[in-house]
A and B are shown apart, each in its own frame.
Chain A
């Protein structure tokens, strides 16, 4: 599998670490209610199909959101976390 690093281009997945769904980017406000934090930290749509997940490209230090299909493993694009949102 290859992933498009916004900094380095298409690179072998061996260079990346995945931490799961891109939900981790949507951090609630500090004073958000506990439900918002539970939602953020634990609950997942966990789609079978198109999804966005979070990868770290260690060689350049870039975090990226990858658009990927969890059934076919097709990779359709990526965005640097720094640019997203």
Chain B
């Protein structure tokens, strides 16, 4: 630990922490960040830059860090682009540098730096165009490998993440002097306060500077305030929490680092993503110091003055011999304080001619830094004072180009800040985000005293809006010095001067962009990529804008403003998408027979959110088709049982229920007799088929509508809309009862026998009949309906009896030579009968296309009627539903194949239609398909060529009626 002085307010000096950086073991202290520990270990080289692979060290001490991004080992693998400035040290921490090979000291790609004249802004738009095929094969792979920063391991991210909601009266963003006073004022007033601070410790800049507040050391004052806030039950302190975005309705996105700083996080999540809803919010995020663009300003050892002070004060890092290059009073004062505390200030350089100071170090007014030296770290700077150059040996160059209020969050709703000439920076306007106001340094009030006062005022204003009485506050005494500066955006001298360190954008790039016509700030950013790196331009936007203004001859406010979009700090996808891995992505819906089906060995497949059995395998089955054929046979020859509970069920009740159903179905339901069921089509208002299903009249004012599994939610929403928008005052109620009833299909010639066992006596129900039934003490419902074309029933019982009913029915069916059937057999059975599903009703078909135009009543209005009469929705050019049989019964066909005239080329202009569903029919001993074919109904008997280029299938098929089996329907009726 070569570079530590005594003290360090953030450190627990007694607790050494061992860690690894790039394979080397090092020791830091508890309380260190990775960056402070590395500096203390005399490591200045922490990475390589994006484009030129220049050696880079840490520039800042916060989340705005552009250079010191490393890969961090966590959960067994390395996480890319971790800010060393934010990552807290813990024992066993392992980090490594990124974007270099073979090592950070000797990086082959640093050769790019030699070719910099040819790699200027936008060079890639002008070359790599020939030969054309080389882009994907050569140029792009080389560019991609050179670009990027950290590596993303391909293993699944196994980190734990959480999401949470929080609500408060007042959200305070930042815990510096302003934020603490806001929280104190509002806390004393009894408001529910959340105080969010990005750092581990509350206090903001008060932690990084000496000085007195209220007659005590600033840190002691902070501790006193925190003690009071902690004791207030209505104040919640959230350290390690970055507010990353402002959204509508007072919603803020926040990211809390929960376990990332712990050696053994246990079950603590790495991060927690918070959605905070605040009635009011105050942005007390302070300000960020800006660097100065001078030649060679990117070397390791060049840092912001405020960062040098932070590392010194909080982490006791000795920066060695320091040259300070500042253009403002704050920088000068800061240098003096640091010198008083023992820092070796080798010189203070200020471009202003008219400042002087009685300083214990050499003071060069009217001076600029024009060059730096040191291959892997700064050794020396060259300064120019009134035209004369001289060199100063040093270890650290501390830059202070003035301060930018940290106003990003106020810009997230699209409003633009205004230029404040006095501080040469943009400041937020009031009301840029409803309910959010900036205070203190975030709106350009820089002295501690001004921040304290502004915090109280902002809190008072917010409390008034919240209807709370503000307490009387006595303002603590504090530093109230003026802040004067002369803007210095770039030092004009030979050599490259960096604006955007992270993306390697220099002042020359910005000037070149302007020269090439990219003179609007948005064009310049896009052309140079300035501001698009991981630091989001926090340290470069202002400088780049100023250099652009200089190049185009305009003032800064004329040239543009800085813009910010969420997130304020990068947020991991794992946090924002917490909980969605694997089964967490969507809820699982299971039928009451689910466990039984699984116990029978059925592979379960997803049907929307539901799971349904695909088939029920038996020992000796060659493949799934064996099972499918067997189950199809159950239904055609004996009896099969299938759980159909996933179909949507909607109760429609009330005196106007029939009238309502007449309006939503194409057909007439009001004249259905009690105890009867009717097949129905619902259209969307645009005239296309929405869904099909049955409608049963259970009682005079009590109907039960069924929907397909897929459309259950959509139909319910639709019916609610129609009722509320167009049937005002009708006496009618709707309720989804899908989950209330378990419903089992019992189908096949022996279906009646199975039911006889269950019900004792089978009611004499006609086809499409309904009656209530009693199964022991359980009241059930029996429908005689069929989706298989066989004599069939559906028996419904309250859901809690579903599992038992299924087990019982399957056992009975098995006793008769049948058994359970799954989705595969169900599909075969319905195709054999030409029954449609959403494979046919794909949202583009009309009742006319399906041959169901006869179901559209001409005697009444119904949803979709008017639009279905548009000329484009009927006619011979429409694709219509037909059946398909291959000429060779064993020629397998698959849904998705295209259909052509036998001799027509297989080109788009000649497509006649496509296969919507297909199966092998064990009943008929042939492959069958349903298809939509142009003018298909008029072409039964025609032969077409089926082409399935994707799967290499081609065969001859003939068109026919879609009902292949028992077209008269006798089997299900009799």
How would you classify the secondary structure of chain B's contact residues: helix, strand, loop or mixed?
A: mixed
Q: Which residues of A contact B869 (CB under 8 A)?
A: 34
Q: Which of B712-748 contact A (CB under 8 A)?
A: 717, 720-721, 724-726, 728, 734
B249 at the interface (CB under 8 A from A): yes
Whether B686 sits at the interface, judged by CB under 8 Å, is: yes
A1 and B866 form a contact (CB under 8 A): no
| Contact (Cβ within 8 A) B721 A1 | no
**Assembled-state Cα–Cα distance A27/B277 (Å):** 38
B724 near A63 with CB under 8 A, answer yes
A36 CB, nearest partner CB in chain B, Å:
9
Tell me if A41 and B249 are in contact (CB < 8 A). Answer: no
When chains A and B are docked, how far (Å) is the Cα of A73 from the Cα of B433?
11
> Per-position contact with A for B252-265: 1 when CB-CB < 8 Å, else 0?
00000000000000
- Decide: B717 and A1 in contact? CB cutoff 8 A: no
B870 at the interface (CB under 8 A from A): yes
Q: With an 8 A cutoff between CB atoms, is B158 at the interface? A: no
Q: Is A81 a contact of B724 with CB atoms below 8 Å? A: yes
Question: Are the CB atoms of A28 and B248 closer together than 8 Å?
Answer: no
Chain B stretch 424-456: residues in CB contact (< 8 A) with chain A? 434
Instruction: Return the chain A residue nearest B713 by Cβ.
Output: A58
Cβ distance A51 to chain B, nearest Cβ, rounded Å: 15
Chain A, Cβ-Cβ closest to B860: A30
Closest B residue by C-beta to A62: B724
Residues in A neighbouring B721, C-beta threshold 8 A: 24, 56, 63, 81
- A1 adjacent to B870 (CB under 8 Å): no
The answer to whether A2 and B249 have CB atoms under 8 Å apart is yes
User: Are A34 and B717 touching (Cβ within 8 A)?
Assistant: no
B717–A82 CB distance below 8 A: no
Q: Mark B312-323, 1 if CB is under 8 A from A, else 0.
A: 000000000000
- Report which of A25, A32, A58, A61 forms a contact with B725, defined as CB distance below 8 A: A25
Binary contact track A18-58/B, C-beta < 8 Å → 1, others 0: 00000011011010101001000100000000000000101
Q: Does A17 contact B (CB under 8 A)?
A: yes
| Beta-carbon contact of A27 and B867 below 8 Å | no
Q: Is A74 an interface residue (CB 8 A)?
A: yes
| Given known contacts A82-B728, A85-B728, A37 and B867 CB-to-CB distance under 8 angstroms | yes
Kindly state the separation between the CA atoms of A17 and B725 in the bound complex, as whole angstroms: 16
Interface pair B720/A61, CB less than 8 Å apart:
yes
The answer to whether A27 and B726 touch (CB under 8 A), given A37-B866, A73-B248, is yes
A27 proximity list for chain B (CB < 8 A): 685, 725-726
Q: Which residues of A contact B434 (CB under 8 A)?
A: 72, 74
Q: A28 — which chain B residues lie within 8 A by C-beta?
A: 866
B311 nearest CB across to chain A (Å): 42
Complex alpha-carbon distance, A82 and B732, angstroms: 13
Chain B residues near A74 (CB-CB < 8 A): 434
**Chain A neighbourhood of B867, CB < 8 A:** 37, 41
Taking the closest CB of chain A, its distance from the CB of B35, in whole angstroms, is: 38
Q: Does B966 contact A (CB under 8 A)?
A: no
A30 to B685, CA, bound (A): 12
| Chain B residues, CB < 8 A from A25 | 725
Docked-complex contact A41 and B686, CB < 8 angstroms: yes
Residue B251 interfacial (CB < 8 Å): yes
Interface membership of B247, Cβ < 8 A: yes
- Chain A residues, Cβ within 8 Å of B249: 1-2, 13, 75
Residues of B with C-beta under 8 A to A17: 717
What is the bound-complex CA distance between A56 and B861, given in angstroms?
24
> Is B725 touching A1 in the complex (CB atoms < 8 A)?
no
- CB of B866 within 8 A of CB of A32, answer yes
* Contact among A1, A56, A58, A82 with B251 in the assembled complex (CB-CB below 8 Å): A1
B865 within 8 A of A: yes
Is the Cβ of B726 less than 8 Å from the Cβ of A1?
Answer: no
In this complex, what residue of B is CB-closest to A29? B861
Shortest B432–chain A CB gap in Å is: 11
In the bound assembly, the distance between CA atoms of A75 and B413 in angstroms comes to: 15
Residues of A within 8 A of B248 (CB): 1, 73
Interface residues of B in 491-509 (CB under 8 A from A): none
- Bound complex: CA A74 to CA B431 (Å): 13
A21 to chain B, nearest CB (A): 13
Q: Of all chain A residues, which has the CB nearest B728? A: A82
Q: Chain B residues with Cβ under 8 A from A32's Cβ?
A: 866
Interface centre among A13, A17, A82 (most CB of B within 10 A): A82
The reply to whether B717 and A58 form a contact with Cβ atoms under 8 Å apart is yes
Kindly state the separation between the CA atoms of A45 and B426 in the bound complex, as whole angstroms: 37
Does the CB pair A82–B247 fall under 8 Å? no
Shortest distance between the CB of B723 and any CB in chain A (Å): 8
CA distance A2 to B167 in the complex (A): 13
CA distance A56 to B721 in the complex (A): 8
Given contacts A17-B717, A30-B865, A74-B434, contact A41 B724 (CB under 8 A): no
Chain B hits for A30, CB < 8 A:
861, 865-866
A81: which B residues are within 8 A, CB to CB? 721, 724-725
- Residues of the B chain whose Cβ atoms lie less than 8 Å from the Cβ of A85: 728
A50 to B861, CA, bound (A): 33
In the assembled complex, the CB of B34 is this many whole angstroms from the nearest CB of chain A, namely: 37
Q: Which residue of A lies closest to B734 (CB)?
A: A61
Contact of B247 among A1, A58, A61 (CB under 8 A): A1
* Bound: A72/B249 CA distance, A: 11
**Which residues of chain A have C-beta atoms less than 8 A from B726's C-beta?**
27
A25 to B249, CA, bound (A): 26
Contact indicator A80/B866 (Cβ below 8 Å): no
Contact of B724 among A72, A73, A82 (CB under 8 A): A82
Assuming the contacts A28-B866, A30-B861, A58-B717, asked whether A63 and B247 have C-beta atoms less than 8 A apart, the reply is no
In the bound complex, what is the Cα–Cα distance between A74 and B435 (angstroms)? 12
Chain B minimum-CB-distance residue to A36: B866
Task: Tell me the complex Cα distance, A13–B434, Å.
Answer: 18
Q: How far is the CA of A61 from the CA of B867 in the complex (A)?
A: 26
Q: Chain A nearest CB: distance from B732 CB in Å?
A: 11
What is the chain B residue whose CB lies nearest that of A56? B717
Using an 8 Å CB-CB cutoff, how does the interface string of B406-417 with A read, 1 for contact, 0 for none? 000000010000
Within 8 A of A (CB), among B510-567: none
- Minimum CB–CB distance from A40 to chain B (whole Å) comes to 8
A61 CA / B725 CA spacing, docked (Å): 13
CB distance A41 to B717 under 8 Å?
no
Q: What is the distance, in angstroms, from B221's C-beta to the closest C-beta of chain A? A: 38
Smallest CB-CB separation from B277: which chain A residue? A2
A33 → chain B, closest Cβ, in Å?
A: 10
Chain A: minimal CB distance from B649 (Å): 16
Q: Which residue from chain A places its CB closest to the CB of B736 in the assembled complex?
A: A61
Q: Considering the complex, which residues of chain B in the window 859-898 have a beta carbon less than 8 Å from any beta carbon of chain A?
A: 861, 865-867, 869-870
Closest chain-B Cβ to A1's Cβ sits at a distance in Å of 4
Q: Which residue of B lies closest to A68 (CB)?
A: B248
Q: Once the chains are docked, how many angstroms separate the CA of A28 from the CA of B870? A: 15
Contact with A along B195-222 (1 / 0, CB 8 A): 0000000000000000000000000000
In the complex, chain B residues whose CB is within 8 Å of the CB of A61: 720, 734
Smallest beta-carbon distance A31→chain B, Å: 8
Report B277-300 CB contacts with A as 1/0, cut-off 8 Å: 100000000000000000000000
Determine the residue in chain B with the shortest Cβ distance to A10: B249
CA distance A24 to B720 in the complex (A): 13
Separation of A34 and B865 alpha carbons in the complex (Å):
11
Q: Given the complex of chains A and B, what is the CA–CA distance between A12 and B597 in angstroms? A: 39
* Given the contacts A1-B251, A73-B248, A63 and B720 also touching, CB distance less than 8 Å: yes
Can you list 16 A-B pairs, Cβ within 8 angstroms, ordered by A? A1-B248, A24-B685, A24-B725, A27-B685, A27-B725, A30-B861, A30-B865, A34-B866, A41-B685, A41-B867, A58-B717, A61-B734, A72-B413, A72-B434, A80-B724, A85-B728
Which chain B residues have a beta carbon within 8 Å of chain A's beta carbons?
247-249, 251, 277, 413, 434, 685-686, 717, 720-721, 724-726, 728, 734, 861, 865-867, 869-870
Top 10 A-B pairs ranked by shortest CB distance? A30-B861, A1-B248, A2-B249, A82-B724, A73-B248, A81-B724, A1-B249, A63-B724, A37-B866, A81-B725
- A sample of 14 more A-B contacts (CB under 8 A), given A1-B251, A37-B867, A63-B720, is A1-B247, A1-B249, A13-B249, A24-B721, A27-B685, A27-B725, A30-B865, A34-B866, A34-B869, A56-B721, A58-B717, A81-B724, A82-B725, A82-B728
